[in-house]
């Protein structure tokens, strides 16, 4: 039997790996099997194409390439220049951005590049001017002291974690919370929606250097035109982190006031999630911040990953095809069908539904914490992640919510009918799971009780649902 190119490529790769460390080859194969058998509903995960995956496993991994295209600190980077320039070109064309920086290794790295670019652009000091030159070793201890004082205590205003914001938007566990004096805006307690008047009030009072929009668990659109008007009123730089919904921007689901690129001074994103590329980050900006952004390495980043930039170029080229826009539309249609299916079955959803790719279930109505619900669903073949809800009484570890999303299942080809069936499976598990108790009889926020037969039944139903929509059908490892 002759094999197609994808099967040949992945089989050959595993054979080569197995000759050195068979346990790694086994784990890779097991991961594919696990993903094929489970309902992947983690909103931040997806399935990259075989071409994107294969672009990461090559000789570009061996190359150091500090600097930018045509301006490297290492010789022999002409081929790296080619793939980095291609990735940036595709990003600019896809999003309509003046400048694209494709080196960040992750969304956190992209945000750090953006923060430092804004600081360097907005804060003037002799120490900072020195820090911007390549010869950092010229800085004296007095220069560093002045630099720390000048850059310290700058202010950032971003969405609160329990309202759906992200850790990297100025919160203490992340370096951004140590760089900035941070304040949060939340959502309306009654609706769960952003109250733009309240955001404006907070901005006028706090006067941030950076106003951040973007989210990891907010199931609605954001009006970026209004947010830019707020930023302009207080003289703030407007930054948007579109890591979660970049695919919806690329696919022209979010346009006009809901497309961040025309309105923000600087935009960051990951390249996986709804964009369906390799794990990595990216920064988009106008010409006024381009020079500062391009200093991301070595200011913030370590050496660029040329093999990942090659994969970004492939994925961004795929996203420019007409079929990607259809895919992005189906992501939202599926999320809305999933939300409607859950609502019909009595689930409580934050904001009562969704405009984007994700749905946030408040599982307190089932008498569960997010951690209990997450594990019970995982036992049943449904992969989700726990997430805080607004004013969450259980905090960020145990939580009261489950965040689910449709990018991955949409990639597999599931449609709105399958989303209703998925809602039924989720409902069946959550209604049959009860909170457990600790050894001393006190209520537990982690332990739970779920009949093993029910979990097995749902897991089999999930597998049957997925059987019609094979994952990586062109890849046969058997």
Range 322-467: architecture per CATH? Alpha-Beta Complex (3.90)
205 annotated active-site: no
Local confidence pLDDT in tens for the 478 residues of the chain: 567 999 999 999 999 999 999 999 999 999 999 999 999 999 999 999 999 999 999 999 999 999 999 998 899 999 999 999 999 999 999 999 999 999 999 999 999 999 888 887 776 555 555 555 544 456 566 765 666 666 655 888 999 878 778 777 766 677 777 777 888 999 999 999 999 999 999 999 999 999 999 999 999 999 999 999 999 999 999 999 999 999 999 999 999 999 999 999 999 999 999 999 999 999 999 999 998 999 888 888 888 999 999 999 999 999 999 999 999 999 999 999 999 999 999 999 999 999 999 999 999 999 999 999 999 999 999 999 999 999 899 998 999 999 999 999 999 999 999 999 999 999 999 999 999 999 888 999 999 999 999 999 999 999 999 999 999 999 988 8
pTM greater than 0.85 (yes/no): yes
Alpha helix (H) ranges present in 263-305? Answer: 287-293, 296-299
User: Catalytic pick from 64, 89, 121, 348?
Assistant: 64
User: Catalytic pick from 270, 369, 410, 433?
Assistant: 270
Instruction: Give the H or E element holding residue 412.
Output: helix 407-412
User: Catalytic pick from 37, 66, 150, 420?
Assistant: 66
Domain chopping of the chain, boundaries? 59-319, 322-467
User: Catalytic pick from 6, 241, 294, 318?
Assistant: 241
User: Catalytic pick from 276, 279, 312, 386?
Assistant: 279
312 annotated active-site: no
Residues 190-197: contacts with CB within 8 Å, 24+ apart? 191/351, 191/352, 192/163, 192/350, 192/351, 192/352, 192/390, 193/220, 193/351, 194/159, 194/218, 194/220, 194/222, 196/223, 196/226, 196/227, 196/230
Q: Tell me the pairing of strands 385-387 and 401-405.
A: antiparallel
279 annotated active-site: yes
CATH topology of domain 59-319: 3.40.640
221 annotated active-site: no
User: Catalytic pick from 36, 72, 220, 273?
Assistant: 273
273 annotated active-site: yes
């Amino acid at each position: 039997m002759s094999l197609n190119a994808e099967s040949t490529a992945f089989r050959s790769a595993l054979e080569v790996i197995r000759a050195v460390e068979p346990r790694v080859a086994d784990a890779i194969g097991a991961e594919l099997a696990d993903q094929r058998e489970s309902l992947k509903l983690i909103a931040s995960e997806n399935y990259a194409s075989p071409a994107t995956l294969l672009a990461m496993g090559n000789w570009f991994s061996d190359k150091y390439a500090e600097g930018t295209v045509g301006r490297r600190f290492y010789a022999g980077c002409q081929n790296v220049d080619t793939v980095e320039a291609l990735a940036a070109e595709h990003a600019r064309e896809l999003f309509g951005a003046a400048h694209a920086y494709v080196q960040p290794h992750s969304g956190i790295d992209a945000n750090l590049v953006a923060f430092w670019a804004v600081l360097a652009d907005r804060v003037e000091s002799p120490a900072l001017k020195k820090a911007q030159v390549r010869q950092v070793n010229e800085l004296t201890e007095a220069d560093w002291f002045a630099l720390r004082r000048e850059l310290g205590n700058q202010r950032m205003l971003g969405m609160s974690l329990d309202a759906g914001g992200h850790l990297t938007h100025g919160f203490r566990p992340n370096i951004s919370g140590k760089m900035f004096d941070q304040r949060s805006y939340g959502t309306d307690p009654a609706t769960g929606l952003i109250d733009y008047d309240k955001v404006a009030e907070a901005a006028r009072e706090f006067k941030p250097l950076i106003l951040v929009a973007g989210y990891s668990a907010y199931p609605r659109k954001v009006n970026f035109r209004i947010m830019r008007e707020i930023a302009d009123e207080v003289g703030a730089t407007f930054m948007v982190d579109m890591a979660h919904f970049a695919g919806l921007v690329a696919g022209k689901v979010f346009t006009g006031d809901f497309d961040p690129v025309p309105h923000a001074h600087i935009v960051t994103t990951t390249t996986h999630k709804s964009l369906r590329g390799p794990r990595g980050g990216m920064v988009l900006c106008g010409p006024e911040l381009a020079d500062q952004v391009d200093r991301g390495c070595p200011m913030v980043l370590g050496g660029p990953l040329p093999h990942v930039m090659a994969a970004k170029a492939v994925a961004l080229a795929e996203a420019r095809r007409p079929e990607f826009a259809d895919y992005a539309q189906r992501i939202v249609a599926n999320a809305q069908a999933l939300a409607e299916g859950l609502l019909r079955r009595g689930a409580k959803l934050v904001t009562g539904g969704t405009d984007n790719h994700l749905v946030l279930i408040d599982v307190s109505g089932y008498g569960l914490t997010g951690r209990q619900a997450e594990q019970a669903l995982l036992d049943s073949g449904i992969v989700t992640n726990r997430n805080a809800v607004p004013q969450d009484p259980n905090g960020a570890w145990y939580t009261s919510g489950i965040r689910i999303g449709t990018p991955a299942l949409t990639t597999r080809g599931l449609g709105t009918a399958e989303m209703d069936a998925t809602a039924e499976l989720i409902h069946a598990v959550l209604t049959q799971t009860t909170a457990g108790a600790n050894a001393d009889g006190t209520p537990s926020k982690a332990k739970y009780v779920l009949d093993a037969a029910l979990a097995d039944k749902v897991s089999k139903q999930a597998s049957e649902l997925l059987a019609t929509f094979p994952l990586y059908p062109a890849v046969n490892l058997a």
